[in-house]
C-alpha cells in the first residue's frame, strides 16, 4: 500500500472513530437529558396506587387495606418457576432477551392478530406494562406510548429482570379486586401462590389483557379458552411437557372464591372511627394521593379478646361496647362498638348517646373535693326533694349519716344531688367540661344532672375517668400513632403533633378521687370488678329502669369502659354488676402483660378512722337553678 493510501486510510479511520465517539457521546447526553425528565426507576419498588390506605396496629400488624391496594406481596425468590414462566409466556415471551421494547414481539403480535382476524396478542412488554401501571395513565395516545417506551428503557437500565418481574407480578391488576399474583390466587382459589397447579396458574396468567372479561368468576367459558391459549404458549416455549399440557387442558376450573385479604377490617368499629378522624388531620389532597400507612394505637390482641368477651358474656341478648384508653398518652388501645359489625355499623363506643347513670357521679364528687369537702365529711342520706325533683336510692334504701367517700362507694343518689346543690351548677358543669364532657352537647342546670341524666358516649365518659387516672391531666383520645405518605415520609406523628395534655384537675384531688374509686371496687358497688393482687379504681352506673349498664374502671396503666343495653332503649332487667364482671373478664385476659403498680397514695392519711370524723353536711334545697 502506498504511503498516501495508508495516510488516507488513517484519516478515514480517525474520522470514523471521532464521529462514532461523538455520536455515542451525543446519544449519552440525549439519554441523560431524557432520563432527567423521567421519574426514578426506584419509584417502582415503593409504588402505591392513588387512594390506597394501609391501617396497621400498634405493633405493625395489618388491620385493613383500603382502596385499590395490593393486599399481599410476594418476593420473586418465593414465587414458583411455574408462575414466572406462565406470565412470561402469556405476556412477553422474549422478556429475558429484550431491553424494554421488543420489536420482534410487536411484529409477531401484529402478524398473529392479522392471521386470526382479531386481537389475540399485544405488543407491550412486561416492562412497558409495569411502567404504564406505575407512572402513566391508560390513555391510548402517542405521547403516552413514547413516554412508556422511554420509561421501559430506563427501568431495564436501572433494575434487574428479576426486580422488574417481581414488581409486575405484585402490581398487575388481575380482576375481582385482585392486584398481584398473591391476591389473585386467594380471590379465585383460596390458595397461596405456591399452592397453585398448572391449570390455575394459566387461568391467572391469562387475565392481564382484559381482567374483567377473562375473569373466571364472570365468564368461566371464556376464561377456560384464554387459559388454553396460555398453556399452548407455555408448551411452545418449552416450559411444560406435552403430558403436562394435555392434563392441564382437561382440568375443570375448580374455583373457590374468597374475599381479598385485609379487605375487611379485623377491628371494624375502630377503623370506622379512623375514617371519621383522619380528615381532621390530613388534607383531601394527601388522602387522594394515597399510599398512606397509618400506624394506629390499637392493640390488636386486646381488641380480639374484647370482641370475644363481649360476644360471650353480654347479659341476655343486649348490645355492648368495650373501650380502653392509655391514661398517660390518650391512646385508644381497644374499641369494640358492638357485637357484630356486619349486622349494624353503628358504633356504640363513639356514636351511642346513653345515660351514664352513676358513672357521672365522678363529676360532682370531684367538684366537691375542689370545693373543699373531704372524703370523711358527713352527709345525711335521706329522701329529699328539690323543687319537685325527688331522687331515690337503689331499692329505696337510705342510711342516714354517711361520709362523702361511703356515699360514692355505695352510690347514694341523694348525696350526689346534695353535692350539686351545695357546690353549684356552674362548678359541676365546669368540671365536666374540663374532663371533656358537655362541650359538644351543653349540660343544663337541672338537678338530675348529678346522677347522669344527660346522655354521653362511652368514649367521653371513659376519657374523663382516664384523666383522673392520669392524676388530673386530660389528653384527648386518639387512634393515631403515626402516618406516613407514599414516599414513607412522616406526615403526622403523635409524638410531635399529638395532644400533649392539659392539667384540668389538681393532682391531690385526682389522687384522692382515685383512692375513693378504689374503695368502690374493694367494698362497694364495683366489687365484681376486683382483680387479684392488682389495684382497681372504678364506678358502676345504671340508668333509670336498668336501660344502661356501665362500669368504667382503671388500673394505673389502662382505663376501660364497658356498656350494655338495647339499641331501642328497653329495660335490660339486669344491673351494672354485670358490666363490672365483664370488665373483670376482659382485664383478666389483658392485664397480665402489664406490671402490677399502685395508684399514688392519697395526699392525706386514709385510715378508716377518718371516715368517722369530719364535719356534718346537712341536706339543703339550694338555690333554684337558672332554666
- Residues labelled as active-site residues: 91, 358
Angle between helices 362-371 and 413-423 (to 10 degrees): 40
347 and 271 Cβ atoms separated by less than 8 Å: no
In the three-class reduction of DSSP (H, G, I as helix; E, B as strand; rest coil), residue 253 is classed as coil
CA distance 121 to 100: 17
Residue 538's nearest CA partner among 400, 304, 361 is 361
CA distance 373 to 56: 47
Owner of C-alpha cell 334504701 = 397
- CB count, 10 Å around CB of 476? 12
Grid coordinates of 73: 406481596
CA distance 200 to 208: 15
Contacts of 393 (CB under 8 A, 6+ apart): 381, 412, 413, 414
56 and 296 Cβ atoms separated by less than 8 Å: yes
Residue 612's nearest CA partner among 422, 405, 419, 415 is 405
CA distance 446 to 437: 16
Residue 167: its H or E element = helix 161-171
Q: Phi and psi for 64 in degrees, rounded to 5?
A: -165, 150
Grid coordinates of 462: 371513659
Owner of C-alpha cell 396458574 = 201
What do you get for the CA distance between the two ends of the chain, in Å? 121
311 and 339 Cβ atoms separated by less than 8 Å: yes
Residue 151: its H or E element = helix 142-158
Grid coordinates of 208: 392481564
Amino acid at each position: 500500500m502506498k504511503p498516501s493510501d495508508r495516510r488516507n486510510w488513517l484519516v478515514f479511520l480517525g474520522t470514523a472513530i471521532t464521529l462514532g465517539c461523538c455520536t455515542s457521546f451525543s446519544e449519552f447526553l440525549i439519554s441523560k437529558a431524557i432520563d432527567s425528565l423521567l421519574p426514578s426507576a426506584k419509584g417502582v419498588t415503593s409504588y402505591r396506587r392513588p387512594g390506597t390506605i394501609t391501617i396497621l396496629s400498634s405493633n405493625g400488624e395489618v388491620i385493613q387495606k383500603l382502596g385499590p391496594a395490593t393486599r399481599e406481596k410476594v418476593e420473586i425468590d418465593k414465587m414458583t418457576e411455574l408462575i414466572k414462566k406462565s406470565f412470561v409466556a402469556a405476556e412477553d415471551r422474549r422478556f429475558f432477551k429484550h431491553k424494554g421494547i421488543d420489536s420482534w414481539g410487536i411484529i409477531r403480535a401484529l402478524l398473529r392478530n392479522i392471521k386470526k382476524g382479531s386481537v389475540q396478542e399485544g405488543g407491550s412488554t412486561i416492562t412497558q406494562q409495569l411502567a404504564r401501571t406505575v407512572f402513566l395513565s391508560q390513555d391510548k395516545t402517542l405521547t403516552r406510548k413514547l413516554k412508556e417506551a422511554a420509561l421501559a428503557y430506563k427501568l431495564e437500565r436501572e433494575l434487574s429482570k428479576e426486580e422488574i418481574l417481581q414488581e409486575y407480578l405484585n402490581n398487575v391488576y388481575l380482576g375481582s379486586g385482585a392486584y398481584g399474583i398473591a391476591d389473585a390466587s386467594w380471590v379465585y382459589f383460596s390458595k397461596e401462590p405456591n399452592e397453585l397447579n398448572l391449570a390455575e396458574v394459566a387461568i391467572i396468567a391469562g387475565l392481564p389483557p382484559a381482567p374483567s372479561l377473562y375473569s373466571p368468576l364472570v365468564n368461566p367459558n371464556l376464561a377456560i379458552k384464554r387459559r388454553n391459549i396460555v398453556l399452548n404458549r407455555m408448551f411452545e416455549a418449552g416450559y411444560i411437557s406435552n403430558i403436562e399440557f394435555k392434563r392441564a387442558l382437561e382440568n375443570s376450573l375448580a374455583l373457590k372464591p374468597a374475599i381479598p385479604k385485609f379487605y375487611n377490617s379485623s377491628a371494624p368499629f375502630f377503623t370506622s372511627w379512623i375514617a371519621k378522624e383522619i380528615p381532621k388531620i390530613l388534607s383531601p389532597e394527601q388522602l387522594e394521593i394515597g399510599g398512606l400507612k397509618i400506624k394506629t394505637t390499637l392493640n390488636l390482641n386486646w381488641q380480639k379478646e374484647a370482641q370475644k368477651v363481649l360476644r360471650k358474656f353480654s347479659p341476655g341478648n343486649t348490645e355492648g361496647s368495650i373501650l380502653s384508653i392509655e391514661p398517660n398518652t390518650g391512646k385508644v388501645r381497644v374499641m369494640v362498638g358492638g357485637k357484630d359489625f356486619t349486622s349494624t355499623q353503628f358504633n356504640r363506643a363513639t356514636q351511642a348517646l346513653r345515660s351514664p347513670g352513676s358513672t357521672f357521679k365522678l363529676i360532682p364528687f370531684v367538684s366537691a373535693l375542689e370545693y373543699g369537702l373531704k372524703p370523711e365529711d358527713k352527709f345525711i342520706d335521706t329522701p329529699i326533694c328539690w323543687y319537685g325533683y325527688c331522687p331515690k336510692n337503689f331499692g329505696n334504701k337510705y342510711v342516714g349519716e354517711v361520709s362523702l367517700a361511703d356515699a360514692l362507694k355505695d352510690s347514694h343518689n341523694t348525696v350526689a344531688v346534695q353535692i350539686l346543690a351545695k357546690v353549684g351548677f356552674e362548678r359541676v358543669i365546669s368540671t365536666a367540661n374540663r374532663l371533656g364532657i358537655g362541650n359538644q352537647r351543653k349540660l343544663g342546670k337541672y338537678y338530675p344532672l348529678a346522677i347522669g341524666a344527660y346522655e354521653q358516649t362511652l368514649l367521653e365518659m371513659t376519657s374523663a375517668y382516664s384523666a383522673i387516672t392520669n392524676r388530673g391531666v386530660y389528653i384527648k383520645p386518639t387512634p393515631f400513632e403515626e402516618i406516613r405518605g407514599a414516599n414513607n415520609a412522616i406526615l403526622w406523628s403523635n409524638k410531635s403533633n399529638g395532644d400533649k395534655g392539659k392539667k384540668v384537675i389538681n393532682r391531690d384531688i385526682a389522687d384522692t378521687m382515685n383512692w375513693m374509686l378504689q374503695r368502690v371496687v374493694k367494698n362497694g358497688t364495683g366489687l365484681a370488678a376486683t382483680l387479684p393482687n392488682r389495684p382497681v379504681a372504678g364506678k358502676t352506673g345504671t340508668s333509670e329502669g336498668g336501660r344502661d349498664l356501665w362500669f368504667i374502671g382503671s388500673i394505673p396503666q389502662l382505663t376501660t369502659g364497658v356498656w350494655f343495653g338495647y339499641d331501642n332503649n328497653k329495660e335490660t332487667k339486669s344491673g351494672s354488676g354485670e358490666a363490672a364482671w365483664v370488665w373483670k373478664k376482659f382485664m383478666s385476659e389483658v392485664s397480665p402483660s402489664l406490671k402490677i403498680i399502685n395508684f399514688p397514695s392519697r395526699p392525706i392519711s386514709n385510715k378508716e378512722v377518718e371516715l368517722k370524723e369530719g364535719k356534718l353536711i346537712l341536706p339543703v334545697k339550694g338555690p333554684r337553678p337558672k332554666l
